[in-house]
Amino acid sequence: MTAKRAAVLQVLRDSEGHLQPDEIFRRAKLLYPGMVLATVYNNLHALCEAGLIRRIRTADGADYYDKTPTPHEHAICSHCGRMLDLELGDLTAAFSAKTEMPILAYDLIVHTLCSDCLAEKKQA
């Protein structure tokens, strides 16, 4: 693994949540000052292809990257945009039974209010 690819992977492994490419670039540049944005995108693609990270595409076109490559669901706060992991279990069988079609894979993103934004709303 190249030093730049290792730096991108390290940024994700050290993160507390899901990051967008611009934030990964900003953090990776601290680890590897010669980093450029195109290199970040190329390495994110390679890391996804290798199964080391997961790309999460949202309806508004924003991509997030997740250090946990195993299938799981996500929630996005409609107020602050924060993405959170959801653990709903494997829904493949339920979706397949409901649709009467084989489900090969799925991505589920629930739109909600995170606990911080919900608390802020209640105080207002």
pLDDT of residue 66: 93
The yes-or-no verdict on residue 105 having pLDDT over 80 is no
Q: What is the pLDDT of residues 18-76, one digit of tens each?
A: 999 999 999 999 988 989 999 999 999 999 999 999 999 888 788 999 998 887 889 98
Arithmetic mean of pLDDT over the chain: 89
The pair phi, psi for residue 76, each rounded to 5°, is -120, 130
Strand blocks (E) in 1-124: 54-57, 63-66, 73-77, 83-86, 109-112
pLDDT at 91: 81
Judge if pTM exceeds 0.85: no
